[in-house]
Structure 1
Amino acid sequence: MKLCEGRVAIVTGAGRGLGRAHALMLAKHGAKVVVNDFGGAADGSGSHDATPAEEVVATIRAFGGEAVTDTHNVADWQGAKAMVDRAVSAFGGLDILVNNAGILRDRMLVNMTEQEWDSVINVHLKGTFAPTHHAANYWRQQQKAGKTVDARVINTTSHSGLFCNIGQANYAAAKAGIASFSLVAARELQRYGVTVNAIAPRAETRMTHGLREWTPEQLERRDPEWIAALVTWLASPEAADVSGRVFEAWGYGYTVAESWQHGPITEASRDPAGLGEKIEQVVRFARPNAGIDRDTWLAV
């Protein structure tokens, strides 16, 4: 059964890794796909290269699917709009936006440069906001014109953003921002017939290659296809009632990541001198922060 038959999707950063897997899976399930990829290295350096996007489009067309390339920078305001316009002009509409594009420039906080901070925040956070903004405006116009909208936004957060990996202050801040952005967008866009969810994937791609040695079984469970299956389902009409959720995803399973929760409370005071015992008490009774490897299945 093809879950996304006739639907139109944009996948950003779709030339390699997770984005490539998303684009191929969506196409196999009947979606017409705009394959966006600016090209360049995993850290965002290098010249503009259309080859990765073109190769994915060729693969999709080879198995009978429909796809076109797009090489705009997702963090460029007009480029993001042009990407949405590309979907509408090529396929007559837009139903699915998968914000996947990203780069890594890891550095300990005290050694991180301004440029290393700005570039990662720009690609991840603005590169999620800008396409979503333009897609949302397209869907709002459709809804106001009396057309039925059943659209999806699927954003990419990270375990680093949710559980705070050291050496990634820029990346974690951007990814945590994407998680919160997704929940706000879900609330704002529901009136237009749009669901918004986020995934925190664990996969072996060029962004993670060489970080550590994996067993063959671990590598198999880190195949991007496990995540692409969830993304494709979330993009389908079957997922119309699922919105405002963050999913952890890999071959070991899918988990709904629960957001910040209200913890223990103590009386407020206008006198800071009397706060010590009270604050120590609520901290003592509060649950510890979830770690990136806190749960057994996540530590595999």
Structure 2
Amino acid sequence: MDSLGAAGPLEVFERQRPRLFGLAYRLLGSAAEAEDMVQETYLRWSQAGSVNVPAAWLTKVITNLCLNQLGSARVQRESYLGPWLPEPVLTGDGALGPLETVEQRESVSLGVLILLERLSPVERAVFVLREAFGHSHAEIGDILGIEETYSRQLHRRARVHVGEPRKRFDSDREQHRRIVRGFMRATLDGDVAALERLLADDVVAWADGGGTTAARRPVHGRAKVLRYLLGLTGRPEAVGVTIHATEINGDAGVLILDGEGGLLAAMAMEIEDGRVTAVRTTVNPAKLTFAGSQLL
């Protein structure tokens, strides 16, 4: 293959694998599906023959594979029981690439990934390629087979739906971690007064259990969310669990582990002005497989 130098095809692909996974995950909101797309991209790469610019070729292939996948994924999500959340990914070790800018961190947050569900597949692709990976509109046009001016139009439209980067992404990360630790301590201790101080008036809690083990609808408002959280800690299965603070999708969060270290739940939180404004908890076992593998 052209421009590979001394590196072989497999080595070239492996260098690109983290970026390709991060791109596919942002497009699909599913770590399992993203891994499938990376594998399919490798199969096509292994049969491609001569390629002048491997990174560009691989980006184009995986983006278009994801666009095809998004159509069927949307149908599945429309029939999903209960709130649908993207699969959580632990990002402290760079699993989704660098999160150094507001745009990069925003593009992997659970809140924004949910907003991206409002976009058409091509709008989503333009948004991710531009915001998270810094591609020019000329490059995006080549990747998607559209005109540069149309890429700009789609990007503007996507930004309207998603909104401007929120100030919470510029906030003190260490402060967020302290708030999350205080939040979990108050929840486990049943400290109502502390929770009232930490929860925003308009806080919302979502739980994705695949329609089986979690609330079927979001819980709105401080009083209801407080009762909901305290109810969770009173369940028999809450006995003996351990809490592990971590970073989930670029936000402060916690993992809830059973007595043997198995992952029971991943909880990511949004924090603004020193208070928790959103709690997103994944308990669907099928959606915890990737995050669980990151703990090994």
Q: TM-score, normalised by structure 2?
A: 0.22
Higher helix share: 2
Q: Which has the higher contact order (CA 8 A, sep 6+)?
A: 2
